Structure formats: structure tokens, C-alpha cells
Structure 1
Amino acid sequence: MTELLPNFVHGAWVAGTGDGTPLTDPVTGAELVRVSSAGLDLPRAFAFAREQGGAALRALSYGQRAEALAAIAKRLQANRDAYHAIALANSGTTASDTAIDVDGGIYTLGQYARWGAKLGDAKALLDGGPATMSKDGVFQSQHLLVPTRGVALFINAFNFPSWGLWEKAAPALLAGVPVIVKPATATAWLTQRMVADVVASGLLPEGALSVICGSSAGLLDQLQPFDVLSFTGSAQTAEMIRSHPVVVQNAVRLNIEADSLNAALLMPAASAEAQALFVREVVREMTIKSGQKCTAIRRALVPQAVYDQVGAAIAAKLAGVTVGNPRETSVRMGALVNREQFDSVLAGIERLTSQAQVRVLFDGRAQPLVDADPAVAACLGPTLLACDDPDAANLVHRVEVFGPVATLMPYRDLAHALALVARGEGSLVCSLYGDTDGEHAAALAACATELAACHGRVHVISPSVATTQTGHGNVMPQSLHGGPGRAGGGEELGGLRALGFYHRRAAIQADAAVVQALGAVALSV
């Protein structure tokens, strides 16, 4: 039997009981390692993190915690090659796709280290200025943000075992809140290895960072009123979490990122150059990480007049995408995470096409694989669907196929396009493609404002930013990540805004001298 990876809880490495769950290579099917959380003393693990880790972190200033984040980023960067090797074996990703996860996580840590350094010696944050509560102005109210006296539990998805950890852990640790991460079982190896490297470095106090690999059974039962929970995954699981008796009873603060039918919208008067950017971005979002991104483009909307033309252009580019074993330098798109996900994507395509609401423009299911056995490998080519009547269709606006699949659809005018986008009932991101010359910039701004109501982020791409824009699906720590409605209603990142989730806001009502004295420990942000 392969190695059973230990969990790090209550300051010790502890192996779960039983045989554990195997983690496999999605290309070859070979077993790599095993994980198990069975038999762990979860009450002890949470109490240790809450009491030991929390107290130790809060004893540090924001600046000191920022220094720790910067040192962690350097330590992880030094071990980058090992992380890429694990991702290649366990996630089946190409080098460029792995970089999005590994390098993106390290970059996010570095950003929060730099932002945190500016907070200096403060141990609390002032929220706005004082408000006068009396006629003479002596009695005042000052809102204060202090780190929550609980633990941050992260239940993460399989697609970003590195970035998914650090985009949450960076602001949590900077805020002074200890972290317990439960990575998705299928790709837990990379998360576990990164935590192990941080633990070995001694850069964080004991109890500040824990990792539990395997089943999530019993984790929610440990949550207390001052704890926070961040979940990334399916809407079905999110519903179960929201209704969990302990979560409800203790009013546990939740951040949820769930299903998202993200859209890309080509503006009515877009130039040929803007149209080419649209085509390129749709193809890129279908193929990066084999479409396994919460932010990937699922619906692509274009004016009716260019519907056929754009569809042919996207299909032509998809035909040139090589799929298979990412160890081969010619391969541009690697594997889905496992055969279970492979089957799920095939079932999703079948569901979308079964009611004749969409047709297949480019069928990646028939694409040959490079150095991969189609009977074993979880490799699947990109599939472009077309929905000729998006008004009559319903599944394309409700069903997310989490893989290399997108649906192209036409619209009559901009009002019609906005209505179709809104049928996604809330998404993480929508991208707009147009021009910024003349009145076009104002049109993009007006459209972006309309879309802001149902998206966490609106990404506007024009020829003027073609070489500098960060990508429809790339989540940058400077901007908000999350979305309303079906997307889960959560908010992450967005610079220092992310610290709000890990703080408690209170109003201090006192003599003006007391309010002024708060500045000795708190910093205005």
C-alpha cells in the first residue's frame, strides 16, 4: 500500500486510521498516496487552534504577521519545483496551468505581506472616524475591528489545492485568526505538502495552521460562535452547510463560493480586433485547467449578425488544442482531476444536448489524445455548444458543466444580452469585449454597471488593454472574488477588504479622550 499522508492537528502530525482513500494520477490511473482523517481527535484539534494558535497570533501586530507571510512566501518559492511535480502527478495539469495554482498562491501571500506591512504595530483597526453622541461633543462613538476569537475552517475544492489555501489563509493569518484547512480529497497531497513545509519552517506559532486530509465528517460539529467557515464547492453541498444544526445554532459566519455560470459578452459595435480578443479568451477559458475553474466562461454571448462567424472561429482554434499527458511538451491541455469528474462532464454534455436546446459545434469527445489511454485517462477535449434560441432554453442558464465546455448563444440587442446574462442568477465574473475610442468607453462603463448587480467582478477587455489585462478567469488578490445568488453570495480577497471576514466590528462609546486613546492600538483603514 502507498504512503498514508499524516494530518497536522493540535501541534502534531497524526495519521488517520484505516486504509485511507487513494489519490491517483488522472492520466495513468496509478495510485500515488493515501489520506485519512478517521480517528482524529477533532475537539482537541479545534480547541488547540482556537486557544493556542489564536492567542499566539493575536499577540503579534499586523506588521509582525505580515513579516511571517513574506517569509512563508519565500519558503514556498524555494520549494516550487516539488509542488509542480506533485501537481503534475496528482492533478494532471500542464506546467502553465500548475503555475496559475502554485505561483498564484505564492503571489497572493506576497501581496498580503506587503499590504499588511503598512498596518505596522497595530493590533486592531479603526472603522471610519468618531461620531459625536452628545451636544457638547465629549461623548463619542468609534467603530472598531478586532480579530475574531475563533478558528477559520476552510473546506476547499479540488481544482486549486495551492491557491485555494493561500487566498483564504493569507488574509486570515494576517488578521490574527488560526486556520484549519480541509482540502478536497482528490488533490489533497499538494495542500498537505505546502502546510508541512510551513510547519517545518517554524514561521508560524503552534496551532496557527492545521491540515486535515480525507473525510470532512465531524468538522462542522466543532464550530463555535466566534469561528468562521469558508467553503468552495457545489451549491448542493453549500445548502447542506448552511442548514447544518451547529452552523445555524451558533450563527457561524459563512463565506460560500458555489456554482457559477459565468458569461462573456461581445458588445454590439465591437471591432474586429475586439472580436478576436473575445474568441481568444473563450478558447483560453475553455482549456486552462481543462475548464476546471469556478471562473471559467460557460456562456458566450454575441450579436446575432456574427453568431456563425464567431462560432466557426472558436471551433477552428479548439481544433488546434492538443490534449493528453501533460508530460509531453506538445500537450496544451491536460487531464480532468479523475475519471469520476470525466464521467460527470460527459453526463453534463449529454444533459445539455438531450433536449435539443443546444447543438454541438465542436466535439472534443472525439479528439485524439497524446500519450494517454482513453480507457484509463481522465483526458477530454474541449466541447463548444451552440444555443440558437437562448430565450427558449433553460438548462444552459442553470446547469454548470465543470470542465472544458462552453455554450455560444446569439442576442438581438444589448438589453436582450443583459437579460440573458442575468438568467445565470448570479455569477462570479462576466467579461465584456469592446472598444474604448469615442463613445464606446462610455457604453462599456454603462454595461459594466448594469452587470455589477449580478456579478462579483466585471472584467472589461478592449484592444487598449489586450497585452496587460489579467484574464477573465484569473482571480487577482487586488480585486473581489465571489458573487451573489447561485455563486454563493460570498466575498473574498479585494485587498485589505478580505480582513473584514475575520474581524468583529464593535462600537466603542466613551469620552472623547478614550476614543482618541484607541489610536494607540488601532489603525485607521
Structure 2
Amino acid sequence: MTLTMQPHRETVGLKPGLLYIEGEWGAARDGATWTHRHPATGEEIGELAVATAADGDAAVAAARRAFDSGEWSNARATTRIGVLRRYATLLREHAEELRALQALDNSVPVGFGAGVYAVSVEVAADVFDHHAGWIDKVGGQTLDPYQGGDHLAMTFREPIGVVAAILPWNAPFLLYAQKVAPALAAGCTVVLKPSEYCTFSVLRMVELLEEAGLPKGTLNVVTGPGDPTGERLITHPDVDKISFTGSRAVGSRIVEASAGTMKRVSLELGGKSPAIVFDDAPDVGIAAATTVGAVTLGLSGQVCVANTRALVHRCVYDDFIAAAQGMAAAVSYGDPFDPAVMSAPLINAKQLDRVLGYIEKGKAEGARLVTGGERLDGEYAGGNFVAPTIFADVDNSSTIAQEEIFGPVLAVVPFDDEEEAVRLANDTDYGLGASVFTANGQRAFRVARKVRAGTVGVNGFQVEPHLPFGGFKQSGLGREGGQSSFEAYTELKTVLMPLGDEMM
């Protein structure tokens, strides 16, 4: 039986992807479009507009006018809170529709999207709820003058201005919310560029934001590939801040492009996160299932924070490998609208070739292939499916242990003691996340403090809307989530005010 998305496309009623500028939906100025092919079947799913540089200019100009007007940036706290809270309610009410659109975008199974918080619509709603709560709580300080005298020294937080928010394709609900919610809560205006591989679910979320009462021009959307659409945003002189999640190469380009105008930049650029499994782990089988699940379920390892390296104590190494192999064998693929399907294909043919190339590299460098390593054929031949792949006896300096593969590939590395485990964990250019599996609370805390990663989970890992998320080293700049995320969309201003008639 051949997989097809056409019946689902008709049921969902997919509309063409249009630009959204100053409250109006429309085509690109030159009429150019991009065709999205479904990663599970290769079928044409829908078309979206490819914004020209002129479209990008129009979107930024609309955002600048909206910011300067003060309709949103100077709105009363109760106004901004009301819009964001109404929006969170609308997201929850339309969760089933949004999950279906995501399945047509990136093929994340609807069952997985409903049951796993980090890729659910619920997490997006919670992020908006959380940041709505900061609107009337973050302020400045009033300080005694350092030099004495009859004056006040005060600080204020003001919205940073026009924000270019550039999204990847893998987790549209969470990553859209992590950028748009704090920006709007702080009073900024936004030009949003979703990935061309995951546009339709994002556009529907924007429609709901319009319904919630966001003023025209406050959020604008340009669609299309990184070049030309994204390139115009990151180089535009009237953009005050860029927030980007994606590859390290593009992140480097954004830093370079932002230098001329000193744009503020927030970057989340991926990882090679370790799961450190000690011999006293509460349950080695659960540790293996958790680690393999993060690399194979849902997005097939196309997750920046997935534990794609397993550092395992030699005393439990064989047990871990056996349990990991069993978990990999249980992963199911197919139609993302089928409740029994647990995982997605790779996003496109380019990524398929890239992952298969890394698998061949792992073999060539001497790692032991335990399971997987091949493209799925038969009924899956039309899609970009790769079997869950586990390599054992991996040298931590090898390519598959050092480079971000972004696919269902786990590298298992043995260690002998805690000191070696920490050294191996930190022997990477990345520093996004890590997990520590141990029953010893002191060891867990000790290792968590020594590992250079932005988030460390003990005996598990999860996403929380009120906690900062981001990475050390080449995993990026800044944090998303919590108070620090809100403040990242503000500028801190100092005001000195004399209280008498004399000059300071």
C-alpha cells in the first residue's frame, strides 16, 4: 500500500501560504511561489509565497510604523495581557486543527503532537500565558545617588523595537511561541519568517493572533526560503533584534550580518547533547529507552537538544545496548494521521542524504553498527525514512560523536569513572543540554554543575515555559523562556532626575 497525504490535505482544507503585512494577506510582489513536498510521501502538498526583498522591506516598514505609533508598544498592560491571554485560549481551542496542519508540514504524528508536551499546542499556549504574566511585573529600579546630591537615579526597561523572528521547521508551536510571546509581551513589533518546510501551521497561528485582537502591523509574516526572504531580514537596517533558531552556519551568518548596525541577537544553534548513564542509574532500561526515544520518536532525532551521545559506564554498557536496541525496534512509521505511528521521516531529500552520509562515516571510522543504518523501502520508499540507528563502541573524537547529525542516530561511548564521563561530556563544540542518570543525589548535582550545558536534566529531561533555555559555546547566544527571555526583548535605560533647582 502506498502512503498518500491527499485525503488528509482535502479534509484539513489547506489554503495557499500568503504573506501577512500590515493586517493584509496577499501574494508576493512578483507572484513567486514555493511548493512544499510532504516528507513522508514526496507529494506536492501546497504552495506558499516567496517574499521578495521589497516584500521584506514592506513588512519591516509596517512593523516600524506600528512600533512608532505606540498603539502596542505603549499600550496599557491590561491591553497586552488581554490579547495574549485570549490568544492562549484560542490556541487551545484549535489544537486539533493545528496538529493536523503540522502533520502536513513536517509529518510529526498527530498522536505524538497530542501526547508529548514539548511539541504540543498546549506548550505554545502556556508560553503565551506565562509571558502575559510578566507584562505588569518587570520594571526598573530607583537607586540612591552614588555621589550624593539631591537627585534620583532610576532605570527603566523599554521594548527593543522591531524584531525579526526566524523559525526552523521542526517544532513550530514551541519555537514560534518562544520568540513571539516575549517580544509582544515586552511591547515590540515583529516580522516573522517561518521555515518553508513548516509554514501552514504557523500561518494559522497568526490568523488566530489576529482574531485575538493584535493591532495591524504589530506582527507581519514573510514566507519563503532563507535566500532571498530571510537574508533581507537579517541585513535590514531598521530591524533592531534578530531571534533565530537553526543551524550553526546560518547563526554565524546572522552574527556577521548584524555587526554593521549592532543588532541585538538571540541564537539557538543546536547541540550534541550527552546522556550520562552511571552504573547506579535507577533503571538502565528506562535510561536507554528515554535516550533512544529522544533520538527516534516524534521528529526522528531532528531535535537540537536530543541526547544523541550516550556516555555509558562499562558496568552497565551491555545492558544499555540491549535495551536501546529493543526500543529502536519498537518505533513505528507511516501515515502521521495514524494514531499508531510514532515517528516522522527526515524533512527533505537533502537531509536524508546527509544522515545516510554520516552513517557511512560512522562505519568507516570503526564504530560498531548495532541496528539500523538504512533507508526504509517498500511502502515507505516515497518518503525520507531512515531506520533508528545505534552505533556502539564509538570514539568520542569521531565524526558521529562530534557533529550534529539531526537524524535518528545514537552514538554510544563507554566510560570508566565520573571524571572521564564529565570530560567526555564537555569534549564538544556544543553545550545545549545534557541528562544524568544516577541514583546518587550528590553525584547528580556534582556532575550537573560540571557539565557545560544550558540545561541539565537528572534521570530525565523536559521543557518548561518558565525556565530559560539556551546553550553554552557554539550552541548559541542568549536564552528563551522565563524572565530572562522577556528582558532580552527590552533595552535598559538609566534616567538621572534632579529634585532641586540646581543642575547636577
Q: Tell whether the structures are fold-level matches, with TM greater than 0.5.
A: yes
In the alignment, the residues of structure 1 paired with residue 187 and residue 67 of structure 2 have an alpha-carbon distance, to the nearest angstrom, of 9
Where does structure 2 lack aligned partners over 5 or more consecutive residues?
1-13
Q: CA RMSD of the aligned region, Å?
A: 2.4
Secondary structure in 2 matching 1:185: coil
Find out whether 1:110 has 2:126 as its counterpart.
yes
Partner of 1:518: none
Render the CA deviation track for 1:166-200: whole Å, top value 9, x for unaligned: 1111111111111111011111111112112322x
Tell me the secondary structure at the aligned position of residue 143 of structure 2.
Answer: strand
Instruction: Quote the residue 2:143 is aligned against.
Output: 130
Find the aligned partners of 1:504 and 1:291 in 2 and give their Cα distance: 36
Distance 1:263 1:103, change over 3 A: closer
Matched, 1:407 2:414: no
The Cα of 1:326 is off from its aligned counterpart by: 2.5
Give the match's secondary structure for 2:311.
strand
2:236 corresponds in structure 1 to 222
CA distance, structure 2, for counterparts of residue 476 and residue 142 of structure 1 = 33
Change beyond 3 A, Cα 1:116–1:11? closer
Aligned to 1:252: 263
3-state DSSP class of the match of 1:23?
A: strand
Q: In the superposition, relative to structure 1, how do residues 111 and 5 fare at CA in structure 2: closer, same or farther (>3 Å)?
A: closer
Superimposed CA distance per residue, residues 137-186 of structure 1 (whole angstroms, 9 cap, x where no aligned partner)? x43433321112x2111111110122211111111111111111101111
* 1-structure distance, mates of 2:428, 2:208: 41
Which stretch shows the higher mean deviation, 67-76 or 3-12?
3-12
Q: Shift in Å at residue 9 of structure 1?
A: 1.2
Query: Is 1:275 paired with 2:284?
Result: yes
Please give the alpha-carbon distance, in whole angstroms, between the structure 2 residues aligned to 1:319 and 1:29.
Answer: 25
Match in the other structure for 1:505: 492
Q: 1:161 aligns with which of 169, 172, 177?
A: 172
Q: After alignment, is 34-43 or 170-179 more displaced?
A: 34-43
1:65-214 correspondence to structure 2 within 5 Å: 65-99=80-114, 100=116, 104-114=120-130, 116-117=132-133, 119-120=135-136, 125-126=139-140, 128=141, 130-135=143-148, 138-148=150-160, 150-199=161-210, 201=211, 203-214=213-224
Partner of 2:8: none
Matches of 1:363 and 1:513 in 2, distance apart? 77
Q: SS at the partner of 1:47?
A: helix
Q: Deviations over 1:284-333 (max 9, x none)?
A: 10123211111111100111222222111111221122222223333222
Relative distance call for 1:3 and 1:204 in structure 2 (3 A) is: closer
SS of 1:292's equivalent in the other structure is coil
Equivalent position SS for 1:49: helix
1:489 corresponding residue in structure 2: 477
What TM-score does the superposition give when structure 1 sets the normalisation length? 0.85
- State the Cα distance separating 1:431 from its structure 2 match: 0.7
Sort the Cα spacing of 1:62 and 1:354 in 2 relative to 1 into closer, same or farther, 3 A. farther
1:42 to 56, 69, 74: 56
Counterpart residue number, 1:326: 336
Q: 2:254 aligns with which of 227, 236, 241?
A: 241
Q: 2:349 maps to which residue? A: 339
The Cα of 1:64 is off from its aligned counterpart by 2.5
Q: Please state how far the C-alpha of 1:22 moved relative to its aligned partner.
A: 0.6
Cross-structure match for 2:456: 458
* 1:365 aligned partner: 374
Aligned equivalent of 1:265? 276
Q: 2:384 aligns with which of 378, 388, 398?
A: 378
Seen in structure 2, the aligned counterparts of structure 1 residues 179 and 366 have a Cα distance that, compared at 3 Å, is: closer
Mapped to 2, the partners of 1:261 and 1:170 lie a distance apart of 27
Distance (Å, rounded) in 1 between the aligned partners of 2:142 and 2:341: 56
The answer to whether the 8 A contact 1:480-1:491 is kept is yes
Query: Do the aligned partners of 2:63 and 2:219 also contact (CA within 8 Å) in 1?
Result: yes
Q: How far does residue 80 in structure 1 lie from its aligned partner after superposition?
A: 1.9
Q: Kindly indicate whether the alpha-carbon contact (under 8 Å) linking 1:235 and 1:258 is maintained by their aligned counterparts in 2.
A: yes
- 2:4 aligns to what? none
Per the TM alignment, residue 416 of structure 1 is displaced from its structure 2 partner at its CA by 0.7
Q: In 2 relative to 1, CA 80–60 (structure 1 residues): closer, same or farther, beyond 3 Å?
A: same
Q: Is the 8 A contact 1:105 1:167 kept in 2?
A: no
CA deviation after TM superposition for structure 1 residue 45, in Å: 1.7
AA at the equivalent of 2:380: D
Q: Which runs of 5+ in 1 are unaligned?
A: 462-470, 515-525
Cα 1:110/1:496, change in 2 over 3 Å: same
Take 1:290 and 1:262, find their aligned partners in 2: how far apart are those partners? 15
Indicate yes or no: 2:393 matched with 1:387: yes
